[in-house]
Structures are given as C-alpha cells and as structure tokens.
Amino acid sequence: MKKVFIEVYPYHSETLYPYADAIGGPEDIVLYNPTSQGKDVLARLHMRHADFSIKRLIKILWREKISEVHINSISVNLHGRNWAPWRKAFAIVSIPYICRLFGVSVFGIAHEADQYFATPVSLNRRHNLYRKYYGRFHKRLFSDVYVLAPEIKNYIAEHGGSVSVMSTRSLTKLSAVNVDKRPGLTLAWIGAMDSQRRNWQGLYEIDAGLLSKTQILFDMICDIRAAKGPDFEEKIGSLGISHGFFFRRYRPDDEELFAAVKACDIVVGFYAHESYGKVKTSGARHIALAFDKPVLVYQDGHYQLIGSEGVATIKSTDINQLLERAVQLQNDEQATLKQVGLSS
C-alpha cells in the first residue's frame, strides 16, 4: 500500500521534504504545487513526483492502492484578496473528504494550529471564527494532526488538545557542506528582515562591551540589502555594535544556510506576533530543531533559550544577561570536554 504526500501551496517545501522523507518510501507519491519555490529540495525525494490537482488525486485514489494521504499544511489562508488563495483553501479542506470516500486515512500538519484547537492565543479573529464554526469539526477527519515543534504540542496540550510532533531532522540530509566552528558564541539569524513577521528590536539592546569581551557573533543568514536590512545595518552601526554582526550582500542558498546553522550555537527566532511558539512555528525554529540547536526567542516578557524539548533552559528580561549565561554554559561545557580528553 502506498502513501501520498501533498502540498497545495507553492511554499513549505522545507517541511514537505522531511515529512515525506521521514515516513515515505520509493513506492510513494508526492504531489505539490507546480510553482513551488523549493522544487530543487523536493527533487531529492526518491519517490514519484507530480503536480497537485484534485483531479489527479482522485485518479490516484481510484487506480492505485493508497493507505494514507498526508497533507503538508492543513492550515488555510483566510485573507485572500483574489480567488487564487480561496481556491487553494477549498482544495485543502476538500482533500480529507475525498480521501475518506475512498476509505483512506488522512494525516496533516497544522502550521497554524489555532484554526483547529482552542487556545488563549490566536493569530486573528478570522482564525477564531474558522475554528469555532468549522475547524474543530473538520479535524475529526484526520487520524492524527502534527505540529512542528514540541512547545506547540505542549501549549495545545495545556489547553485540552492533542497533537503529535513531526520531526524535521531529515533536513540535515540536505547539507553536505561543513563550516569550521569559530571561537566564541555564534547566533544565527535566518531569513530576511521583514518587519511584518520579524522583530529585531531586542538586538538593539545588546551591549557593545559584551560583544567584545565574549566573542559573540550574530551570523545574519540573509541578504542584508533586502527589506529592512539596510535600516538595521545603519542602526547597529550608530549603536557601535556592528562588530558583533556578520552580513551577506547576497541571498544565501540552502547549502550555505544549513552549513551556517550546523556551525552556530543558537538560532535566533524573534517574531512579531505572540502566536509564534504557541500555535505557530517559525521556519527558523524547525530548522533549529533539525540540527538540534536551541532557539533564542522573546515571549511573555522574557528572552528565552528554548531547547529541543520545547522547554526554556535560560530565561531573562535582559538579553545581555541571557547571552552572558549562554556564554558561561558554553565555557563550562568546553571545560568539561577538555577534562574528559585529558583524563582519557
């Protein structure tokens, strides 16, 4: 019996790949948007590939022995300004009903879990209305619903919901390049400085003296010329902390991205909305999880270092205090390793 993996939207390849790679096989089928931005990543999946359409899915279900259908994103765009997003939303909500008609089990990842689970934090009113009148019933069609980080699972469980965590560890297979680890503490910022989604105000609070004495470096894995990058670069220059940042004036490819994450100590995950880390996972977070890197977030009035179990290992209202503590932990770990090496 075969499995089918589906992505309706032209993004999310960085979650479709590990999803299919983790539980799929060469006999399985992956259907995705023909305009996908991550075709080069998806091409590495050793299974049958085809463009997604409802018609093609029905043909596959009719002609082949399918046991499971996995939808990479069951969250829908409720803010479309034209018909295209709404057509995709209709396709996403239709898939489980079609699969059930053929007696096939359905699974899916909730990228925005507030559309299906009632929690105090939600992205917006439309999500609340969708969940109240549709999502909470629709989720019953799924054999299991996945989220992308353990802290999301924990938060949903605290409020009476039940989900599983989909591992993104397979992303490590996409990285064949190794970069030597630099001395000191390296923090990786992933993605463009887009003010609608990201919040980098905390970086302006960093003390210049701390950067100098501790060899802390922020590796900005993005094209600093894009979006608000030039404003950010100018601001940290005026604050006298630019020596603690490494900039790229080009868009790094996936190989460079993954190599830089492998070489870093912490991934920075500052986001503009409180829903991140509760009902929504950032791309930076699931890349950090793939490489078993802690993520630095600002949540509930505290800077927090979140480990791979979804629990804060360090917490402070002052980013400089948190960074000092992270440096101390790194030094303690290196001292322990040195002692072990000497004793052996």
- 192 in Cβ contact with 221 (< 8 Å): no
Q: How many helices (H) and strands (E) does the chain have?
A: 12, 14
- H-only helix segments in the chain: 13-23, 39-42, 54-63, 83-101, 125-130, 136-138, 150-158, 208-214, 229-238, 254-263, 283-290, 319-343
- Domains 2-172 and 178-334 agree in fold: yes
CATH pick for 2-172 out of 1.10.3470, 3.40.1000, 3.40.50, 1.10.760: 3.40.50
Taking only the tens place, the pLDDT of each residue in 266-303 is 999 998 889 999 999 988 998 999 999 999 999 999 99
Give the architecture-level CATH label for domain 178-334.
3-Layer(aba) Sandwich (3.40)
Q: Phi first, then psi: give them for residue 330, nearest 5 degrees.
A: -65, -45
Give the residue carrying structure tokens 């309706």: 8
Q: What angle do CA 167, 253, 230 make, to 5 degrees?
A: 110
Which residue type does 122 have?
A: S
- 66 in Cβ contact with 3 (< 8 Å): yes
Amino acid 338: pLDDT: 61
Amino acid 341: pLDDT: 60
C-alpha 342 chain-centroid distance: 39
Give the residue carrying structure tokens 């999500």: 127
pTM of the model: 0.91
Question: For the chain, which residues make up each domain, given as ranges?
Answer: 2-172, 178-334
Amino acid 258: pLDDT: 92
Amino acid 255: pLDDT: 87
Amino acid 64: pLDDT: 97
Q: In what order do the strands lie in the sheet with 2-7?
A: 48-51, 29-32, 2-7, 66-71, 105-109, 144-147, 164-165
Kindly give the parts of the chain with pLDDT less than 70.
335-344
Rounded CA-CA distance 50/31 in Å is 5
Amino acid 344: pLDDT: 38
Which residues neighbour 303 within 8 Å (Cβ) at sequence distance 6 or greater? 202, 296, 297, 315, 316, 317, 318, 319, 322
